[in-house]
Amino acid sequence: MRLSYVAQRVLLLFATMWMAASVNFVLPRLATGRDPIRERIIAESARGGGATNIGINEMIAEYRVQFGLDEPLPKQYVTYLWNTLRFDLGKSLSNYPKTVIGLITEALPWTLGIVTFSTITSFTLGTIFGALIAWPRAPRVLSYTVPILLTFSAVPFYILGLILIYFFAFQLKWFPIGGGYPIGTIPSFSLAFMGKLAYHAILPSLSMILASTGGWALGMRGMMVTIQGEDYMNYAEAKGLPDSRIFFGYAVRNAMLPQTTGLALSLGYLVAGAGLVEVVFGYPGIGSLLGDAISKFDYTTIYGIVFFLIVSLGVVLFIIDLLYPLIDPRITYEQ
């Protein structure tokens, strides 16, 4: 039954959340064994960065209460699970007293913007391109692009980002060197500001698009090659169908199924890659927030971000799974 499948899938989502939260709870306690909060706050203040010395005792006191560090471990664990389930991820150590979830909500739109844009663009371009390369009746020139695509797809996004920054931002000065918008401008919903936003988003997006289009194209090409050996392709030809109909209705339509599964499976990779691109470009999204938190030893923020991303990806996968029967009629989730 469809309903039981949904229930099963919801259960898996909660299992993922529970595992992520538990890892977050257990690891810090395993790694230090002593008082994690005091240790980190002292380490932090010793570096003289981020937080000022003024708030230390307050922070320690608050964290003791919040985590109930005097309570027995099982009780701490239950409290922790309950808090994370409500997305109460605590307060940032380096940006005290800002909450971690507050920082994430500020950074999220940036990341969401470039990740969604680049993923949709590269997936569409790559899929069309890969389908054409594999099509025997497409121009032969296309096949010469395969080695170039291979090279691009083998390189991590942020490495490509470094190359783009040097040539297009530093040497040619066509694009800004980094950031989400020009320093000194005040974010607003005006058209002019939106234009600046787009201008700043081009290079980060481009490094993801360039690097991942090749991957999608190669994946699609592989599927198309496999599908051309299928019986229904021969039969379609025997039916006297025109090439365009065979290409779209038979080859592409069938190759799209594994391609979409591929998209779902690589979301985690895409988000991680996007995070590093943000770090390279100083783009004010979640990746930069994470990089910043790491350099400032802001553990609550690190754990909060990771938990948040794991759960969001879980939710996205959940939605994709529910939508999948729409494109593949063979899957009905019936036992």
Residue with Cβ nearer other proteins (70 or 231): 231
**Least CB distance to other proteins at residue 13 (A):** 9
Residue 120: both structure tokens together = 């949709």
Residue with Cβ nearer other proteins (9 or 193): 9
Sign of CA dihedral 185, 188, 194, 198: positive
d(CA 275, CA 301): 15
Residue with Cβ nearer other proteins (193 or 333): 333
d(CA 155, CA 214): 10
Residue with Cβ nearer other proteins (51 or 290): 290
Among 221, 201, 216, 193, residue whose Cα is nearest residue 131: 221
Residue with Cβ nearer other proteins (57 or 234): 234
Is residue 163 a contact point for other proteins (CB under 8 A)? yes
Residue with Cβ nearer other proteins (46 or 54): 46
Q: Which listed range, 48-56, 121-129, 179-187, 222-230, lies at the site for other proteins (CB under 8 A)?
A: 222-230
Q: Which of 165, 203, 208, 220 binds other proteins (CB under 8 A)?
A: 165
Scored b (16 or more CB within 10 A) or e, 284-317 reads bbbbbbbbbbeebbbbbbbbbbebbbbbbbbeeb
Is residue 12 a contact point for other proteins (CB under 8 A)? yes
Q: Which of 96, 110, 216, 303 binds other proteins (CB under 8 A)?
A: 303
Residues 24-53 contacting other proteins, CB under 8 A: 24, 27-28, 30-32
Residues 172-191 contacting other proteins, CB under 8 A: 177
Q: Which of 125, 150, 197, 202 binds other proteins (CB under 8 A)?
A: 150
Is residue 212 a contact point for other proteins (CB under 8 A)? no
d(CA 80, CA 314): 20
Residues 311-330 contacting other proteins, CB under 8 A: 313-314, 317, 327-330
Which SS3 state, helix, strand or coil, does residue 88 take?
coil
Residue 111: both structure tokens together = 């990341």
Residue 178's alpha-carbon distances to 94, 169, 202, 220, 242, in angstroms, are 23, 9, 10, 33, 49
Burial classification of residue 219, based on how many CB atoms lie within 10 Å of its CB (0-12 exposed, 13-18 middle, 19 or more buried): buried
**Least CB distance to other proteins at residue 322 (A):** 14
**Least CB distance to other proteins at residue 37 (A):** 14
Give the single-character DSSP code of 253. Answer: H
**Least CB distance to other proteins at residue 293 (A):** 9
Residues 246-285 contacting other proteins, CB under 8 A: 249-250, 253-254, 257, 265, 267-269, 271-272, 275-276, 279-280
Residue with Cβ nearer other proteins (91 or 296): 296
Confirm if 240 and 85 have CB atoms less than 8 A apart: no
**Least CB distance to other proteins at residue 160 (A):** 9
Among 331, 330, 310, residue whose Cα is nearest residue 321: 331
